[in-house]
Amino acid sequence: MSLPYLDFYRGRRVMITGGLGFIGSNLARQLVALGADVLLVDSLIPDYGGHHFNIEGVADRVHVNIADVRQQSTMNYLVRGREVIFNLAGQVSHIDSMRDPFTDLEINCRSQLTILEACRRNNPAAKVVYAGTRQVYGKPDYLPVDERHLVRPTDVNGINKVAGEYYHLVYNNVFGVRGCSLRLTNIYGPRQLIRHNRQGFIGWFIRLVVEDREIEVFGDGSQVRDFVFVDDAADAFLRAGADDACNGEVFNVGGDEPISHRDLVTMLTGIAGTGRVTYREWPPEKKAIDIGSFYADSKRFSSLTGWKPRVSLREGFTRTIAYYREHLARYIADPSSAS
């Protein structure tokens, strides 16, 4: 029997910004299976992870518009008639945000205002679910981190992401454009960018074990993180989009199996049967923005919506490694030459 929030999407006109990217494409697949009318908007900026192959098998059941969400006139047109907007477009590299803060500002702040203004002027009845990040908390004062924790980013990306999040809350509270934010921890799974290591370490670690290469762990590997399989993350978006009790709120979406880097790489190499690990000192530019151990308390979101992670770490990593073993060439090629 279908759950009510899943039935909600049958025939529903939905838009996903960043729809050819990692989370967006996996969310699109679930929406297609639920019978939604799905529009994917993506600018396919090189090195951000958008890829036409991510919708292989469902491409004929979605609409794709290659567009930059910073363009007001374009967004004014695209948001019309869309009942739920999953706003996943963004620059997620912490290192890139420190090297090029103005681009991060454009994509993670200005573009959010563009989308929200488009809704305010052209589709005020839309529901917008924003992809936030645990990075807004910075170095945690306590673990697990709940939503009452001080917001104190350690890098430009975290500052701009929390600004984007607050725009959504203001538009909900002042202008009536319903919105909420999901503060995601480390999402992993098929269709993640693995071509370079600037969008988080987990995708890069997976590539290294698949290629039977050496994983470099900074420090002694004692840092702890939590992880969410991408299908579980997509389910969180579906629940938030269908439930108006989430409006005007922020929620942690984290894993329930915190694990140290040391144990993580042991698990990955054990599942893959390939890869090896070495430990080295922190590079200064990475150490300067590192937050130490972090794992989230997601009870608030779980109690409101019924969400919980369903895919264990071992199962999720097994499925992810198998996916990249089959499709590795698609994800390490230059995206400008990939079909």
At residue 55, the pLDDT reads 98
236-243: average pLDDT: 98
Mean pLDDT of the chain, nearest integer: 93
At residue 338, the pLDDT reads 45
205-225: average pLDDT: 95
Query: What share of the chain in percent tops pLDDT 70?
Result: 97
The Cα 271–Cα 78 span in angstroms is: 43
At residue 107, the pLDDT reads 81
Residue 214 pLDDT > 50: yes
CA distances from 129 to 13, 23, 145 (A): 14, 13, 21
Instruction: Report how far apart the first and last C-alpha atoms of the chain are (Å, whole number).
Output: 38
User: Binning pLDDT at 50, 70 and 90, where does residue 336 land?
Assistant: low
The Cα 236–Cα 311 span in angstroms is: 13
User: pLDDT of 182-206, one tens digit each?
Assistant: 999 999 999 999 988 776 789 999 9
Domain 4-337 has CATH 3.40.50.720: yes
User: pLDDT of 270-317, one tens digit each?
Assistant: 999 999 999 999 888 777 777 889 999 999 999 999 999 999 999 999
